[in-house]
């Protein structure tokens, strides 16, 4: 799938499951980053893309990459790559153009990246700002969905060819049963929002499958 993104196809992968099942670890690996063999899907996918771009450079292709990290918390959007204390603009999901199905988030931070290490730094920055809390089911529960997106721009000057695509890796908040999690107050509101959005996602995927 990572190779398909490099070839010009938009790719999206979700980590989905109950709270505490290991979705964030699967996507990001341990914090702070451990040895390469323990790293998660995001750094591994990015490493594959950078190596693929190097191989294709010998065939005349030049690639550029930029990354964003977005959090969806209680139906609101937060930019996880802002500097600490920095207040960003209010974020909304918009169509790229009135006749386009492509979506974007104006004013979201995009950071040019050229190595796996740069992406690991972004993971640390985003992780320090993500909404997490302790619940009855999980010591450190993600209370939001996080969306890592890598924009890929390719150009072959000699043949005047261009390609553009994206790799989107989504760490969904975990579904949970209220009677088991013991959520009250803010935790209750988060749980209701998480479960509602996961149900909506299921309906969207079902509708897409049924065209």
Measured CA to CA, the distance from residue 210 to residue 202 in angstroms comes to 12
Annotation-wise, does 54 bind a ligand? no
Contact criterion met (CB below 8 Å) for 177 and 53: no
Q: What is the DSSP string of 95-152?
A: ESSTT---EE-TT---EE--SHHHHHHHHHHHHTTS-EE--SS-TTEE-SEEEEEEEE
Annotation-wise, does 18 bind a ligand? yes
Reduce the DSSP state of residue 161 to 3 states and report it.
strand
- Is the bond leading into 74 cis (omega within 30 degrees of zero)? no
Contact criterion met (CB below 8 Å) for 38 and 28: no
Annotation-wise, does 20 bind a ligand? yes
CA angle, 64 as apex, 103 and 67 as ends, to 5°?
50
Annotation-wise, does 21 bind a ligand? yes
Question: Residue 22's closest CA among 148, 129, 172?
Answer: 172
Which residue ranges are tagged as binding site for ATP? 17-24
Which residue ranges make up the annotated binding site?
Answer: 17-24
């Amino acid at each position: 799938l990572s190779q398909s993104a490099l070839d010009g196809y938009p790719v999206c992968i979700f980590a989905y499951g109950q709270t505490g099942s290991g979705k964030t670890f699967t996507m990001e690996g341990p914090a702070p980053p451990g040895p390469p063999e323990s790293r998660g899907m995001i750094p591994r996918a990015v490493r594959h893309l950078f190596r693929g771009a190097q191989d294709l450079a010998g065939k005349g292709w030049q690639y550029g990459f930029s990354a964003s990290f977005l959090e969806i918390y209680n139906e609101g959007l937060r930019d996880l790559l802002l500097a600490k204390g920095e207040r960003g603009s209010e974020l909304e999901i918009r169509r790229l153009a009135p006749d386009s199905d492509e979506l974007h988030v104006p004013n979201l931070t995009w950071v040019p990246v050229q190595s796996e290490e740069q992406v690991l730094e972004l993971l640390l920055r985003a992780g320090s700002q993500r909404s997490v809390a302790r619940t009855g089911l999980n010591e450190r529960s993600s209370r939001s969905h996080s969306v890592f997106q890598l924009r890929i721009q390719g150009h072959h000057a000699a043949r005047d060819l261009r390609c553009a695509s994206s790799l989107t890796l989504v760490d969904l908040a975990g579904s949970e049963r209220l009677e088991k999690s013991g959520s009250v107050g803010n935790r209750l509101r988060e749980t209701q929002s998480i479960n509602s959005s996961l149900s909506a996602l299921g309906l969207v995927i079902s509708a897409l499958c049924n065209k």
